[in-house]
Amino acid sequence: MGFLDDAQDLLDKGVTAAKGAVSNVAVEQFGYMKAFVRMCADGAQAGWHEGNGGNLSYRLTLEEVANTRSYFYTTPSSWVMLDRAFENLAGEYFALTASGCSMKSVALDPKRFVGIIEMDSRGCAWRIVWGFKDGGKPTSELLSHLECQSVRKRVTDGVSRVVYHAHPTSVIALSKIVGPDACRLSNMLWKAMTECVLFFPEGVGALATYVPGSEELARATKEAMEDFAAVVWVNHGLLSTGAGFDEAFGLESVIVKAADIICASSSLSRALGYEDAAPYTMTGEDVRAIARQYNLELRADFVED
């Protein structure tokens, strides 16, 4: 059934419902929603989202909320209570991918696979105000996203707005070797190529294996996000944050490329008969020198020679 048929069906049910159909189309044309959809497509094209793997959230600006408000549903969904309050997210609005959706499908039907939720005045409940057509709901990792959004909003003075989760093969493979060791992981990534320390001088967090969507995973991620803009979930994937879509996706891309290089150079070293690491791997002093050159606040206690 096409849009015209959908609209006619809604018109038959009343003007209020028809307004909802029109709003769905209008919201898709806003810049932030186009960027949201593009990021989902870029991640899928990169091969980071098998099946329904991965999810994305974005905290709208006040201007975006004001511009979008007239297109929200006249009757939002019922409030869904959370087991704790996110006080600094009170009254905020978030665009999120839908539970069970394929990231490659988001561009085909944004109003089905993306939705906007509103947090209540205490930050302890949410409701759907746009999208999630035909009974959809936010990602099963909603709690982890809210924990991350809350922490990163606080530690960046409100700058961070995007939380992006993907399942890059090389990152997951590397996590199986390194485990939940943020220091070791950060060193390996920093030394993979010279650009890494420029993108994450604070390092990258690493968490043990938790049940996806669990409160345990959300709590552990919250703690890690106090110190890191990106966190690896061992045997699961990578979570990156940023002020905007390009920043968060760029951070994810750099970490994935570094992991690709580590995996490739490790295999090549063995094939060429080297027993240890590749002979020209960067040193700790190389990492420090780059940080000094660019006046970066390097997490010095993580650097290993």
Residue 118 belongs to domain with CATH number: 3.40.225.10
**Whether residue 136 sits in one domain with residue 148:** no
**Helices 182-190 & 245-271, crossing angle to 10 degrees?**
80
- Mean pLDDT, to the nearest integer, of 199-228? 96
**Whether residue 27 sits in one domain with residue 165:** no
**Whether residue 127 sits in one domain with residue 58:** yes
**Whether residue 155 sits in one domain with residue 120:** no
**Whether residue 109 sits in one domain with residue 54:** yes
Domain count, the chain: 2
pLDDT of residue 272 exceeding 90, the answer is: no
Confidence (pLDDT) at 144: 93
What is the extent of the structural domain holding 161? 144-305
Q: Assess whether 141 carries a catalytic annotation.
A: yes
Q: What's the angle, vertex CA 23, arms to CA 20 and CA 24, rounded to 5?
A: 90
- Mean pLDDT, to the nearest integer, of 166-183? 97
**Whether residue 94 sits in one domain with residue 154:** no
**Whether residue 222 sits in one domain with residue 119:** no
**Whether residue 302 sits in one domain with residue 177:** yes
> What percentage of residues in the chain have a pLDDT greater than 90?
85
Paired tokens of 174: 């590397």
Give the chain's count of helices (H) and strands (E).
12, 9
**Whether residue 225 sits in one domain with residue 78:** no
Identify the domain boundary among 115, 140, 165. Answer: 140
CA neighbor of 149 nearest in space, from 95, 209, 196: 95
Q: Which of 141, 147, 247, 252 is catalytic?
A: 141
**Whether residue 159 sits in one domain with residue 304:** yes
CA distances from 78 to 21, 32, 42, 73, 125 (A): 19, 25, 33, 12, 10
pLDDT of residue 302 exceeding 90, the answer is: yes
Give the mean pLDDT of the chain.
Answer: 91
- Mean pLDDT, to the nearest integer, of 144-163? 97
H-type alpha helices, the chain: 3-13, 15-27, 31-45, 62-68, 110-113, 142-155, 169-178, 182-190, 196-199, 215-224, 245-271, 284-293
**Whether residue 136 sits in one domain with residue 161:** no
Q: What is the pLDDT of residues 5-46, one digit of tens each?
A: 444 344 333 333 444 444 445 899 999 999 999 999 999 999
CA distance 139 to 145: 9
Identify the domain boundary among 114, 140, 166. Answer: 140
Identify the domain boundary among 140, 164, 187. Answer: 140
> Binning pLDDT at 50, 70 and 90, where does residue 269 land?
confident
pLDDT of residue 128 exceeding 90, the answer is: yes
